[in-house]
A and B are shown apart, each in its own frame.
Chain A
Amino acid sequence: MQPSRLVRIALYLYGMLAIAFLYLPLVSVTFASISKARYLTFPIRQYSTVWYGRALESSTVNDIVMTSLKVAVLVTIISVVIGFFGALAFARYQWRFRGLFQKFILLPIFFPQTVLGLALLMWFNSIGVIPSWKTAVVAHLVWISPIATLIIAIRAYSFDPSLEEAARDMGASTWRILSEITLPLLLPGVVSAGLFAFLLSWGNFPLSLFTTGADSTLPEWLYAKMVSGYSPLVPTVGVFSIVASASIVILAFLLPWLVGKVKQNRPIKG
């Protein structure tokens, strides 16, 4: 029962419209970032890249970029490791509390992040930990490691357990099976989980808001400026953050293609 031609065309148009709608605000931010005026109004009278220069010079901007980067890198590494094992427990092994485990790790995703951040602040306070960018790593992990787990689990579902069983029958140890069979087979899932983890941490605002203490991440700094009044640096730094995410995504798509090219060109040794 395929829909009629007219309906199909309408659906395609609707899809394209929705994507345009998703990206429209980013267009405004980009225009704003290259406006010369200190107080922005459209249509823009004079274009200039002066605010990009200012942003690059600013030591505050450098600090917050470094903080965001440190947090995102740590979150990526930890959540991928946790998520790899979590996905095996989620999808691969049949064990007693699997159903309960699956439901339990979904709860942090179904949770208002601002409230979670505040709860963590109180928890750190009551165990005597002073909030800094390190506590923000913990906060991001609560939300991001379940997501990494789910992404790897999708891959783990389509994985043939008889491969592992064959290796075991031939006498391979559990550790050897994990590193030589399971990890290579799940690798695409692990890579995309790492990509998601990095980018979601890089752009996350509500979890960082209360958990970074005196440090500040990029989205947090932007929010503070937006609420306290307009600064011409806001669109500029915003565009910088968008470009950083976009280039990582592009790199992630290019990398497999490049690796394929290199492999093709390498002469086969006998």
Chain B
Amino acid sequence: MERLNRKLGFLSSVPLVAVLCLSFLAPLLVVAAFSVMPRKVFDLAHLPDFSAYAALFGQGYYRSLLWSLGMALASTVILFLVCWPMAYGMAKVFRRFTLVITIAVVVSLFVSENIRLFGWVLTLMKGGLFEGNLRAWTGSGFDSPLYNVSIIVFGLVYVYFPFMLFPLAQGIAMVPDDARQAAADLGASRWRVFREIDLPLAAPGIVVGSLLSFVLAAGALAESKLLGGQAVIVIADEVETAFTYGQDWPLGSALSVILILIIGSLAIFGVTRVDLDAIMGRKR
């Protein structure tokens, strides 16, 4: 039986692994190869050089990278603080209401992110849902909060909310009530229970949620374009510009490689430290 299991396990992994090798790993290798081509070529039949990487450090692209990483970090921290009470409620307090929240949040995910962000533009712009109605009632409006850095962070928090919420709720559900009860009986304060019981035991969920939101936010594009109106240029935007207007594939590839290295090492660090069987609800 064990031998058969091993054979069937291997065989059934083949289709997915094949798809991912052909359309995930292979493209990444092509990007890596393009990044060491001379500037502005469109095929790989050239001698490698590192001029694209030289331009990367010479022309201030690191600033976009820092902006992207900084805003991703800020939104991840805010998301953790915003999602914790709700995830706690979903895992320990809400019972049936948890299902309602889950469905409502999942359904919102099915609406394209740019429609939802565009909705925020309509809500917050001058003459938008808030300002326009306020002025109609009171006679005085306010300046639009759009087109700056904090609104981009707001957009990131909004779009990646579910990606923090669900792993966090799953993580908190893994904290046994007995442990919290025991700590409380022994006289631990609420804060101490949170710090010494909840945080360490919910760590797998925290790690997955924070990683997902950070990684996705670091590579995000639509938030800064639609809400931020070019207040800052994010790294994904620089990559896109290099490919489209710039017609400089090696430069775009070099930028991507840097982003992929940062994000990839974080992702690998995260997923190797988490026991997936435990999170996904192994019953055996």
Contacts and interface: CB of A to CB of B under 8 A. Distances in A.
Interface of A: 1-3, 8, 11-12, 14-15, 18-19, 21-29, 31-32, 40-43, 81-83, 85-86, 88-89, 91-98, 101-116, 118-123, 125-126, 138-139, 141-142, 145-146, 149-150, 153-154, 157-158, 165, 174, 199-200, 202-206, 210, 218-219, 222-223, 226-227, 234-235, 238, 241-242, 245-246, 249
A77 B115 CA distance: 26
Nearest to A115: B256
A102 B280 CA distance: 11
B130 to A, nearest CB: 8
Contacts, number: 301
A123 B120 contact: no
Interface in B20-42: 20, 23-24, 26-28, 30-31, 34, 42
A117 to B, nearest CB: 9
A26 B256 contact: no
A118 B252 CA distance: 9
Interface of B: 1-2, 5-17, 19-20, 23-24, 26-28, 30-31, 34, 42-44, 85-86, 88-90, 93-94, 97, 101, 104-105, 107-123, 127-133, 136, 158, 161, 177, 180-181, 184, 193, 211-212, 215-216, 218-222, 225-226, 236, 239-240, 243, 249, 252-253, 256, 259-260, 263-264, 267-268, 270-272, 276-277, 280-284
A101 B11 CA distance: 12
Given A111-B263, A203-B111, A119 B27 contact: yes
Contact of B259 (A112, A142, A205): A112
Contacts of A8: 93
Given A25-B120, A25-B122, A111-B267, 5 more contacts: A11-B85, A26-B111, A82-B15, A101-B17, A115-B239
B9 A12 contact: no
A257 B5 CA distance: 36
Nearest to B249: A122
Contacts of B34: 122
12 contacts: A1-B193, A11-B94, A14-B86, A24-B123, A26-B115, A27-B129, A42-B136, A92-B9, A119-B30, A203-B109, A205-B112, A245-B111
A118 B112 contact: no
B19 A145 contact: yes
B24 A142 contact: yes
A138 B112 contact: no
Given A93-B8, A112-B236, A203-B111, A42 B105 contact: no
A114 B24 contact: no
Contacts of A91: 277, 280, 282
Nearest to B13: A89
A27 B9 CA distance: 47
